[in-house]
Amino acid sequence: MNKNIILLFSFIITFLICIGVNTQDISPKFDQKLKEEVFWTNKVHNKEKYDFVIMGDSRSLRGINPSLMNTGLNGFNFSFPSAGLNEFYLKKSLDKLKKGGSLIISMTPFSFTKKAYRNEKIKEYLNLSFLEQQINKNYKLKRAFSGITKEKFNNKPDKHIKEFKLNGYVATKVEKNNPESGVDTYKRNFSNQKYSVEKLKTFIAILDQYRKDYEIYLVRMPVYSKVLDIENTLGKFDEELVKKLVIENSLKWIDSFEQEFETYDGSHLTIEAASQYSIKTKIIK
Protein backbone atom coordinates (compact mmCIF):
# COMPACT_ATOMS: atom_id res chain seq x y z
CA MET A 1 0.00 0.00 0.00
CA ASN A 2 1.25 3.54 -0.87
CA LYS A 3 2.96 5.27 2.07
CA ASN A 4 0.84 8.41 1.74
CA ILE A 5 -2.35 6.35 1.82
CA ILE A 6 -1.17 4.62 4.99
CA LEU A 7 -0.42 7.99 6.63
CA LEU A 8 -3.83 9.33 5.60
CA PHE A 9 -5.55 6.19 6.86
CA SER A 10 -3.70 6.50 10.20
CA PHE A 11 -4.77 10.12 10.54
CA ILE A 12 -8.40 9.26 9.82
CA ILE A 13 -8.31 6.48 12.42
CA THR A 14 -6.83 8.78 15.07
CA PHE A 15 -9.33 11.52 14.28
CA LEU A 16 -12.33 9.20 14.43
CA ILE A 17 -11.19 7.69 17.70
CA CYS A 18 -10.78 11.15 19.23
CA ILE A 19 -14.20 12.45 18.18
CA GLY A 20 -16.15 9.22 18.28
CA VAL A 21 -15.21 7.01 21.19
CA ASN A 22 -15.80 9.44 24.00
CA THR A 23 -18.93 11.15 22.63
CA GLN A 24 -21.02 8.18 21.52
CA ASP A 25 -23.56 6.81 23.93
CA ILE A 26 -24.29 3.21 22.95
CA SER A 27 -26.43 0.66 24.70
CA PRO A 28 -24.87 -2.34 26.52
CA LYS A 29 -26.52 -4.61 23.96
CA PHE A 30 -24.99 -2.77 21.01
CA ASP A 31 -21.67 -2.62 22.85
CA GLN A 32 -21.80 -6.43 23.08
CA LYS A 33 -22.32 -6.63 19.32
CA LEU A 34 -19.28 -4.45 18.71
CA LYS A 35 -17.13 -6.65 20.92
CA GLU A 36 -18.42 -9.70 19.09
CA GLU A 37 -17.41 -8.30 15.70
CA VAL A 38 -13.93 -7.47 17.03
CA PHE A 39 -13.66 -11.00 18.46
CA TRP A 40 -14.59 -12.78 15.21
CA THR A 41 -12.41 -10.57 13.03
CA ASN A 42 -9.36 -11.14 15.20
CA LYS A 43 -10.13 -14.82 15.40
CA VAL A 44 -10.21 -15.28 11.62
CA HIS A 45 -7.39 -12.88 10.69
CA ASN A 46 -5.04 -13.55 13.59
CA LYS A 47 -1.66 -14.63 12.13
CA GLU A 48 -0.18 -16.22 15.27
CA LYS A 49 0.84 -19.90 15.28
CA TYR A 50 -0.15 -22.09 18.24
CA ASP A 51 1.03 -25.32 19.89
CA PHE A 52 -2.50 -26.70 19.72
CA VAL A 53 -5.73 -25.64 18.04
CA ILE A 54 -9.34 -26.66 18.69
CA MET A 55 -11.78 -26.82 15.79
CA GLY A 56 -15.49 -27.60 15.90
CA ASP A 57 -18.90 -25.99 16.21
CA SER A 58 -20.57 -24.04 19.03
CA ARG A 59 -20.14 -26.90 21.49
CA SER A 60 -16.37 -26.59 21.50
CA LEU A 61 -16.56 -22.81 21.01
CA ARG A 62 -18.40 -22.52 24.33
CA GLY A 63 -17.11 -25.71 25.92
CA ILE A 64 -13.31 -25.80 25.70
CA ASN A 65 -11.11 -23.12 27.22
CA PRO A 66 -7.51 -23.67 25.96
CA SER A 67 -6.08 -21.81 28.97
CA LEU A 68 -7.43 -24.47 31.35
CA MET A 69 -6.19 -27.57 29.55
CA ASN A 70 -3.14 -28.11 31.79
CA THR A 71 -0.86 -28.59 28.82
CA GLY A 72 1.68 -25.84 29.50
CA LEU A 73 1.30 -25.02 25.81
CA ASN A 74 -0.11 -22.05 23.91
CA GLY A 75 -3.51 -23.05 22.52
CA PHE A 76 -6.29 -21.42 20.50
CA ASN A 77 -9.98 -22.22 20.12
CA PHE A 78 -10.76 -21.86 16.40
CA SER A 79 -14.35 -23.12 16.67
CA PHE A 80 -17.35 -21.52 14.95
CA PRO A 81 -21.13 -21.80 15.29
CA SER A 82 -22.61 -24.49 13.02
CA ALA A 83 -19.17 -25.26 11.57
CA GLY A 84 -18.88 -28.09 9.06
CA LEU A 85 -15.91 -30.44 9.29
CA ASN A 86 -14.52 -30.37 5.78
CA GLU A 87 -11.21 -29.69 4.02
CA PHE A 88 -11.80 -25.95 3.72
CA TYR A 89 -12.21 -25.51 7.49
CA LEU A 90 -9.41 -27.99 8.24
CA LYS A 91 -6.88 -26.02 6.19
CA LYS A 92 -7.86 -22.76 7.89
CA SER A 93 -7.34 -24.47 11.26
CA LEU A 94 -3.96 -25.89 10.30
CA ASP A 95 -2.88 -22.40 9.23
CA LYS A 96 -3.06 -21.50 12.95
CA LEU A 97 -1.01 -24.50 14.04
CA LYS A 98 2.75 -24.89 14.44
CA LYS A 99 4.34 -27.78 12.58
CA GLY A 100 4.19 -30.81 14.85
CA GLY A 101 1.41 -29.24 16.92
CA SER A 102 -1.82 -30.84 18.08
CA LEU A 103 -5.24 -30.44 16.49
CA ILE A 104 -8.30 -31.26 18.59
CA ILE A 105 -11.45 -31.79 16.53
CA SER A 106 -14.84 -31.68 18.23
CA MET A 107 -17.32 -33.55 16.09
CA THR A 108 -21.11 -33.64 16.14
CA PRO A 109 -23.55 -35.22 13.67
CA PHE A 110 -24.57 -31.73 12.56
CA SER A 111 -20.98 -30.95 11.53
CA PHE A 112 -21.41 -33.48 8.70
CA THR A 113 -24.56 -31.96 7.19
CA LYS A 114 -25.04 -29.94 4.03
CA LYS A 115 -25.91 -26.76 5.95
CA ALA A 116 -22.86 -26.95 8.21
CA TYR A 117 -20.58 -27.46 5.22
CA ARG A 118 -21.30 -23.90 4.08
CA ASN A 119 -19.16 -22.63 7.00
CA GLU A 120 -20.88 -19.28 6.74
CA LYS A 121 -19.39 -17.69 9.85
CA ILE A 122 -15.77 -18.25 8.80
CA LYS A 123 -16.42 -17.06 5.25
CA GLU A 124 -18.28 -13.96 6.46
CA TYR A 125 -15.14 -12.71 8.21
CA LEU A 126 -12.67 -14.02 5.65
CA ASN A 127 -14.43 -11.86 3.05
CA LEU A 128 -13.97 -8.59 4.93
CA SER A 129 -12.13 -5.88 3.00
CA PHE A 130 -8.77 -4.66 4.27
CA LEU A 131 -10.42 -1.51 5.68
CA GLU A 132 -13.14 -3.53 7.42
CA GLN A 133 -10.52 -5.79 8.95
CA GLN A 134 -8.57 -2.87 10.38
CA ILE A 135 -11.71 -1.27 11.82
CA ASN A 136 -13.02 -4.53 13.26
CA LYS A 137 -9.75 -5.53 14.90
CA ASN A 138 -9.75 -2.63 17.34
CA TYR A 139 -12.64 -2.10 19.76
CA LYS A 140 -12.11 1.66 20.15
CA LEU A 141 -11.93 2.11 16.41
CA LYS A 142 -15.00 -0.06 15.97
CA ARG A 143 -16.89 2.20 18.36
CA ALA A 144 -15.78 5.25 16.42
CA PHE A 145 -17.20 3.73 13.23
CA SER A 146 -20.33 2.36 14.90
CA GLY A 147 -22.50 4.99 13.25
CA ILE A 148 -21.59 3.41 9.92
CA THR A 149 -22.19 -0.17 10.96
CA LYS A 150 -25.11 0.20 13.36
CA GLU A 151 -27.73 -0.74 10.78
CA LYS A 152 -26.15 -4.21 10.54
CA PHE A 153 -27.49 -5.08 13.96
CA ASN A 154 -31.17 -5.79 14.55
CA ASN A 155 -33.02 -5.80 17.84
CA LYS A 156 -33.46 -9.54 18.11
CA PRO A 157 -33.14 -10.42 21.80
CA ASP A 158 -30.11 -12.47 22.81
CA LYS A 159 -30.67 -14.58 25.91
CA HIS A 160 -26.98 -15.47 26.11
CA ILE A 161 -24.52 -13.52 28.23
CA LYS A 162 -21.15 -13.92 26.52
CA GLU A 163 -17.58 -13.15 27.44
CA PHE A 164 -15.21 -13.24 24.47
CA LYS A 165 -11.73 -14.53 25.35
CA LEU A 166 -8.52 -13.74 23.48
CA ASN A 167 -7.84 -17.49 23.19
CA GLY A 168 -10.94 -17.93 20.99
CA TYR A 169 -13.20 -19.35 23.71
CA VAL A 170 -16.62 -17.82 24.44
CA ALA A 171 -17.78 -18.18 28.05
CA THR A 172 -21.58 -18.31 27.83
CA LYS A 173 -24.36 -18.31 30.38
CA VAL A 174 -28.11 -17.78 30.55
CA GLU A 175 -30.35 -16.54 33.34
CA LYS A 176 -31.52 -20.06 34.14
CA ASN A 177 -30.06 -23.36 32.96
CA ASN A 178 -32.61 -25.61 31.27
CA PRO A 179 -31.27 -28.71 29.44
CA GLU A 180 -34.77 -29.44 28.12
CA SER A 181 -34.99 -26.12 26.28
CA GLY A 182 -33.05 -27.23 23.22
CA VAL A 183 -34.52 -30.73 22.80
CA ASP A 184 -37.39 -29.84 20.45
CA THR A 185 -35.19 -27.55 18.37
CA TYR A 186 -32.65 -30.33 18.00
CA LYS A 187 -35.36 -32.72 16.82
CA ARG A 188 -36.38 -30.23 14.14
CA ASN A 189 -32.76 -29.79 13.06
CA PHE A 190 -32.45 -33.47 12.24
CA SER A 191 -35.78 -33.46 10.46
CA ASN A 192 -34.36 -30.85 8.06
CA GLN A 193 -30.68 -31.78 8.02
CA LYS A 194 -29.32 -35.27 7.42
CA TYR A 195 -26.04 -36.44 8.89
CA SER A 196 -23.81 -37.93 6.16
CA VAL A 197 -21.59 -40.92 6.93
CA GLU A 198 -19.90 -40.35 3.57
CA LYS A 199 -18.91 -36.81 4.58
CA LEU A 200 -17.47 -38.25 7.80
CA LYS A 201 -15.45 -40.90 5.94
CA THR A 202 -14.17 -38.33 3.45
CA PHE A 203 -13.07 -36.02 6.25
CA ILE A 204 -11.21 -38.78 8.09
CA ALA A 205 -9.49 -39.79 4.85
CA ILE A 206 -8.35 -36.17 4.44
CA LEU A 207 -7.04 -36.13 8.02
CA ASP A 208 -4.92 -39.16 7.19
CA GLN A 209 -2.86 -36.95 4.86
CA TYR A 210 -1.80 -34.71 7.75
CA ARG A 211 -1.22 -37.12 10.62
CA LYS A 212 2.54 -37.36 9.98
CA ASP A 213 2.94 -33.61 10.44
CA TYR A 214 0.50 -33.07 13.32
CA GLU A 215 -0.97 -34.86 16.33
CA ILE A 216 -4.69 -35.19 15.54
CA TYR A 217 -7.32 -35.90 18.20
CA LEU A 218 -11.05 -36.33 17.74
CA VAL A 219 -13.66 -36.01 20.45
CA ARG A 220 -17.41 -36.06 20.91
CA MET A 221 -18.22 -33.55 23.62
CA PRO A 222 -20.70 -34.35 26.41
CA VAL A 223 -24.34 -33.27 26.04
CA TYR A 224 -27.64 -33.77 27.81
CA SER A 225 -28.79 -37.43 27.64
CA LYS A 226 -31.92 -36.63 25.57
CA VAL A 227 -29.89 -34.70 23.02
CA LEU A 228 -27.45 -37.61 22.82
CA ASP A 229 -30.38 -39.97 22.14
CA ILE A 230 -31.64 -37.70 19.35
CA GLU A 231 -28.21 -37.69 17.72
CA ASN A 232 -27.96 -41.47 17.93
CA THR A 233 -31.52 -42.17 16.70
CA LEU A 234 -32.80 -39.35 14.48
CA GLY A 235 -29.26 -38.33 13.59
CA LYS A 236 -28.13 -41.95 13.12
CA PHE A 237 -24.69 -41.12 14.52
CA ASP A 238 -22.81 -44.32 15.34
CA GLU A 239 -20.04 -43.36 17.76
CA GLU A 240 -18.50 -46.83 17.75
CA LEU A 241 -18.17 -46.70 13.96
CA VAL A 242 -16.56 -43.26 14.23
CA LYS A 243 -14.06 -44.49 16.82
CA LYS A 244 -13.25 -47.50 14.64
CA LEU A 245 -12.57 -45.26 11.61
CA VAL A 246 -10.43 -42.94 13.72
CA ILE A 247 -8.29 -45.78 15.11
CA GLU A 248 -7.98 -47.52 11.73
CA ASN A 249 -6.53 -44.31 10.31
CA SER A 250 -4.01 -44.03 13.17
CA LEU A 251 -5.69 -40.94 14.58
CA LYS A 252 -6.38 -40.42 18.29
CA TRP A 253 -9.77 -40.55 20.01
CA ILE A 254 -10.44 -38.78 23.31
CA ASP A 255 -12.92 -40.92 25.24
CA SER A 256 -15.83 -39.34 27.05
CA PHE A 257 -15.49 -39.02 30.81
CA GLU A 258 -17.81 -40.93 33.11
CA GLN A 259 -18.62 -37.70 34.91
CA GLU A 260 -21.77 -35.86 33.80
CA PHE A 261 -21.31 -32.25 32.70
CA GLU A 262 -24.14 -29.75 33.07
CA THR A 263 -25.50 -27.98 29.99
CA TYR A 264 -27.53 -24.79 29.94
CA ASP A 265 -29.66 -25.79 26.92
CA GLY A 266 -29.03 -29.51 26.42
CA SER A 267 -26.25 -29.01 23.90
CA HIS A 268 -23.78 -26.49 25.36
CA LEU A 269 -21.84 -26.72 28.61
CA THR A 270 -22.29 -24.18 31.37
CA ILE A 271 -19.23 -22.05 32.19
CA GLU A 272 -18.53 -24.20 35.25
CA ALA A 273 -18.88 -27.46 33.30
CA ALA A 274 -16.74 -26.07 30.45
CA SER A 275 -14.00 -25.29 32.96
CA GLN A 276 -14.19 -28.83 34.41
CA TYR A 277 -14.16 -30.40 30.96
CA SER A 278 -11.24 -28.27 29.76
CA ILE A 279 -9.14 -29.20 32.78
CA LYS A 280 -9.82 -32.91 32.20
CA THR A 281 -9.09 -32.77 28.46
CA LYS A 282 -5.32 -33.14 28.33
CA ILE A 283 -3.17 -33.55 25.25
CA ILE A 284 -0.83 -36.52 25.54
CA LYS A 285 2.44 -35.94 23.72
Q: What percent of the chain stands above pLDDT 90?
A: 60
Q: Mean of the pLDDT values across residues 107-125?
A: 92
Lowest mean pLDDT among 11-15, 204-208, 249-253: 11-15
Confidence category of residue 137, pLDDT binned at 50, 70, 90:
confident
Of the spans 30-34, 122-126, 197-201, which averages the highest pLDDT?
197-201
Range ranked top by mean pLDDT from 33-37, 160-164, 183-187, 202-206: 202-206
Q: Which residues contact 216 (CB under 8 A, 6 or more apart)?
A: 102, 103, 105, 207, 210, 251, 252
Please state whether 190 falls in left (phi above 0), alpha (psi between -120 and 50) or beta.
alpha
Q: Could you give phi then psi for residue 238, rounded to 5 degrees?
A: -100, 100
Q: Residue 79: is its pLDDT beyond 90?
A: yes
246 pLDDT more than 70: yes
Can you give the pTM of this predicted structure?
0.85
Minimal CA–CA distance to 274: which of 104, 71, 55, 62? 62
| CA pair distance 16, 10, nearest whole angstrom | 10
CA dihedral angle for residue 55, residue 58, residue 60, residue 65, rounded to 10 degrees: 110
Average pLDDT over residues 147-158: 46
Average pLDDT for 13-38: 61
Give me the domains of the chain, ranges plus CATH numbers.
Answer: 27-280 (3.40.50.1110)
- Is the separation of the CB atoms in 142 and 136 below 8 Å? yes
